[in-house]
Amino acid sequence: MKKEELKSTIRNVPDFPIKGIQFKDLTTMFMNASALKAAVDDLYEEYKDKGITKVVGLESRGFIIGPALAIRLNAGFIPIRKPGKLPYDTIKIEYKKEYGTDTIEIHTDSIEEKDVVLIHDDLLATGGTAEAAIKLVEKMKPQKIYACFIVELDNLKGRERIKCPTYSTLHYNE
């Protein structure tokens, strides 16, 4: 599936979650088997030779493609979640995002210094959540960190906040 075809499977929802935001709803892509496979295949092709040992998915939409990508890369999957959702010892970070502040957590024993980590989320907008996830993973001192997204909203310049090699399957400039 070509990237323009893949883009056509994503629904645009105006004024969500607040007025003026043009929300990219990837659930319509996820329910299309060919599009879902194309998204996973594209990310796999980008990272298949990078030695990834752990894929970290951000709550909650990073939990959709993240595990499928981990399976393809023969890597483990690690969730980053909102506070109180992980059952074991965690480390956390608080960060600012477009609509206020938030906190995310990861299990303290999920990443080792020998790991090569790929952080995945469905969409890169202003970069606040991704930047926080990278800082959280950096505390665990892995060998290398990469970040990937299905969609990147280029005009919001979130990539400028990402301090590791980054890849996005689809780009929008609106």
Q: What are the tens digits of pLDDT across the range 106-133?
A: 999 999 999 999 999 999 999 999 999 9
Domain range enclosing 74? 51-172
Strands (E) located in 43-114: 54-58, 76-80, 90-97, 100-107
Q: What are the tens digits of pLDDT across the range 23-74?
A: 999 999 999 999 999 999 999 999 999 999 999 999 999 999 999 999 999 9
Domains: count for the chain: 1
Query: In the annotation, is 11 catalytic?
Result: no
Residue 34 belongs to a domain:
no
Pick from 19, 80, 22: which is nearest to 10 by CA? 22
Question: What's the pTM value of the predicted model, to 2 decimals?
Answer: 0.96
Residue 25 belongs to a domain:
no
Q: What are the tens digits of pLDDT across the range 140-173?
A: 999 999 999 999 999 999 999 999 999 999 999 9
Catalytic residue of the set 5, 45, 98, 112: 98
Catalytic residue of the set 61, 72, 159, 161: 61
The CA distance from 26 to 58, in Å, is: 15
Query: In the annotation, is 4 catalytic?
Result: no
Q: Where are the alpha helices (DSSP H) in the chain?
A: 3-8, 27-30, 33-47, 62-72, 128-138
